[in-house]
Amino acid sequence: MTEEKYAELFPSSSYTLQNRIPTFGEYAQIWLDSREIVQTTRDNYKSTLNRYWMPNFATWRLDQIGSVDCRRVVSTTAWTSAGVRRNACDKMSSIMESAVQDGLISRNPMASIARPRVAKKVVDPFTREEAEQIIAWLYENLTGLTRIYACWFEFAFFSGMRPGEQAALMKDEVNREGRTAHVCRGVVKGEIKDRVKTKRDRYVLLNDRALHALDEALVITEGRSRYVFAPALMVDKDVDWIRSDSTTKDYFRQAMAALGIRQRRQYDTRHTYATMCLMAGMNPAFIANQLGHSVQMLLSTYAKWLNSTSDWAELQKLD
């Protein structure tokens, strides 16, 4: 008698179920192995599964896990943040949905559990005046090889590239005559990865200020590095790129403190570029392409500044 026939005659048999349906632990490993993701992302997935779901369901057959069981875990876990909770629930839901698609279970037990809402990260750009003051202070106060960080921040404010993309920008990816930079890799946890966050490379058009920063940087890094922005101090001769935000952070903080400017993240230089472009009336599709965003993401992230460019014009219609 075949297993299929046995299952037809004895549908509730535990023998049949145990031989056809894997445990959650077994299937989660199969699911993880099938994902085409970089190692850092894989490690993140594995950590989430091991911390929140394996202790509860590792030895359970997939068909034994119900919505109530999943809801119990979600409600009794001491989540460190709404974002962590949402990420963990998304991973569990993805695994169980794959099990549905593979015909191992009839429904996703996570389907009835509401996806936790996560507050958007605060977009806190600098004003154009603040950006100019910071850039000027850095050029005036940094000397020698540390002057590279003045170039770094001028480029950051006027290119809108992600810090990891900027750190991984190689000299041969800059077309000075064509005024473009090819964004095709990034720094992730200190290592160069041949991909960007969105997995789609792009060409960023460079304005005069970004080109000025590049020209200054190339003089400083001549013969020292393959990368446009090499660290002032290279402890390891084989590591000629800026490996983390901490390398540039202190100079940025010094400038803000000296100028009496409210402290903000380095990543807000990217937000500054986006808002400056929007307030200058540039086409949202062009800005989105520059940033490596979708237009929808751009509009949802920067709606406040998009509206502000036309608010006064609308109000003047009353006059």
pLDDT in tens, the chain (319 residues): 444 554 555 555 444 444 578 999 999 999 999 988 777 788 889 999 999 999 999 999 999 999 999 999 999 999 998 889 999 999 999 999 999 999 999 999 999 998 877 767 778 999 999 999 999 999 999 999 999 999 999 999 999 999 999 999 999 999 999 999 999 998 888 888 888 877 788 999 999 999 999 999 999 999 899 999 999 988 777 788 999 889 999 999 999 999 999 999 999 999 999 999 988 889 999 999 999 988 888 888 888 877 665 554 555 565 5
Query: Residue 39: how many CA atoms within 13 Å on its side-chain side?
Result: 6
Q: Which residues of 237-265 are buried (b: 16+ CB within 10 A; e: fewer)?
A: eeeebbbeeebbeebbebbbeeeebeebe
Pick the closest to residue 72 from 51, 94, 50, 53 (CA basis).
53
Question: What pTM did the predictor assign?
Answer: 0.71
Q: For tokens 């940033």, what's the residue?
A: 291
Pick the closest to residue 232 from 222, 242, 223 (CA basis).
242
Our measurement of the distance from residue 309's CA atom to the centroid of its chain's CA atoms, rounded to an integer in Å, reads: 28
Give strand pairing partners of 188: 191
Number of H helices, E strands in the chain: 16, 5
Predicted local distance difference test score (pLDDT) of residue 196:
80
Give strand pairing partners of 180: 175, 205
CB proximity list for 294: less than 8 A, separation 6 or greater? 288
Predicted local distance difference test score (pLDDT) of residue 109:
95
Q: Are 217 and 152 in contact (CB under 8 A)?
A: yes
What residue ranges define each of the domains in the chain, with the CATH number in brackets? Answer: 3-101 (1.10.150.130), 128-278 (1.10.443.10)
CA 59/CA 75 separation, integer angstroms: 21
CA 274/CA 291 separation, integer angstroms: 8
Tokens of 114: 């509401």
Phi, psi dihedrals of residue 180, rounded to the nearest 5°: -135, 155
Query: Residue 100: how many CA atoms within 13 Å on its side-chain side?
Result: 13
Q: Are 144 and 135 in contact (CB under 8 A)?
A: no
Phi, psi dihedrals of residue 61, rounded to the nearest 5°: -65, 150
Predicted local distance difference test score (pLDDT) of residue 83:
87
CB proximity list for 189: less than 8 A, separation 6 or greater? 40
Predicted local distance difference test score (pLDDT) of residue 158:
97
Give strand pairing partners of 204: 181
Q: Are 154 and 131 in contact (CB under 8 A)?
A: no
CB proximity list for 28: less than 8 A, separation 6 or greater? 49, 53, 54, 95
Predicted local distance difference test score (pLDDT) of residue 2:
47
Show the CA angle centred on residue 275, arms to residues 272 and 279, nearest 5°.
135
CA 242/CA 166 separation, integer angstroms: 9
CA 126/CA 134 separation, integer angstroms: 10
Predicted local distance difference test score (pLDDT) of residue 16:
46
